Amino acid sequence: MTDARPVVAVLDYGSGNVHSAVKALDAAGADARLTRDRGLVADADGLLVPGVGAFDAVMRQLEAIRGGELIERRLAGGRPVLGICVGMQVLFERGVERGVETEGLGQWPGAVERLDAPVVPHMGWSAVEPGAGSRLFAGLEGERFYFVHSYAARAWSLDVIPPFPEPAVTWAVHGSPFVAAVENGPLSATQFHPEKSGEAGIRLLRNWIGTLSR
């Protein structure tokens, strides 16, 4: 019998926490495969880009395997990509950490900066405010998700020209508002960790998997 589950490639570029992401995707109904095989990354139904640690370190690891090129090629073909935590942050133009500015992948304009909050890092469960038309958060209104981060995008400035639809931008608050998730055509990302967010996180991944075309 052929496995009918959508294949999701989890990009293996040296980031930590990848095995919990693989397990969560499997639990959500995907055939998750940890890989850096360029053919599989290109052909999979979905690509998940994890990320933990510092923005500049993650960018160096991605550059070592030409990860930015892999992501760009998928998006150019309308192939879905999901970034998690620093895997979301590097999608912006740049990151600024401890006075060091690092160029990101530039899929979205703006900078990832230190949270404007009395207590950093932001660690624990927080509510989010899903953007209009969100598919990731369908049926998850009012749920909390697990965050572990000191930096985030604190502004959203992408100008969309019709007929392209406006992205669904989800916000959370820790001291001040920050971008908690984005859904922008084939490119989606979450600042929180779905794989650490219990049943709500599994359901969110299931929602994303449900958008993948076979």
Within 10 A of 170 (CB to CB), how many other CB atoms are there?
Answer: 23
pLDDT single digits (tens) 48-71:
999 999 999 999 999 999 999 999
Q: How confident is the model at residue 3 (pLDDT cuts 50, 70, 90)?
A: low
Residue 31 bridge partners (DSSP): 7
Does any domain span residue 132? yes
pLDDT of 55 reads: 97
Q: Which domain does 27 fall in, by range?
A: 7-209
pLDDT of 4 reads: 87
Separation between Cα atoms, residue 78 and residue 141, nearest integer Å: 27
Does any domain span residue 159? yes
Half-sphere CA count of 129, side-chain side, radius 13 A: 7
Q: How confident is the model at residue 163 (pLDDT cuts 50, 70, 90)?
A: confident
pLDDT of 214 reads: 60
Does any domain span residue 2? no
The mean pLDDT value for 131-148 works out to 97
Asked if residues 82 and 47 have their Cβ atoms less than 8 Å apart, the reply is yes
What average pLDDT is seen over the chain?
95
Q: Is the pLDDT of residue 7 over 70?
A: yes
Q: Residue 186 corresponds to which tokens in the numbers above?
A: 């084939």
Q: Is the pLDDT of residue 1 over 50?
A: no
Q: Is the pLDDT of residue 183 over 80?
A: yes
The mean pLDDT value for 160-175 works out to 93
- Total residues found in the chain within this entry: 214
* Domain CATH for 135: 3.40.50.880
Does any domain span residue 214? no
| Active site residues per annotation | 85, 193, 195
pLDDT single digits (tens) 184-205:
999 999 999 999 999 999 999 9
Domain count, the chain: 1
Separation between Cα atoms, residue 158 and residue 207, nearest integer Å: 24
Separation between Cα atoms, residue 180 and residue 148, nearest integer Å: 12
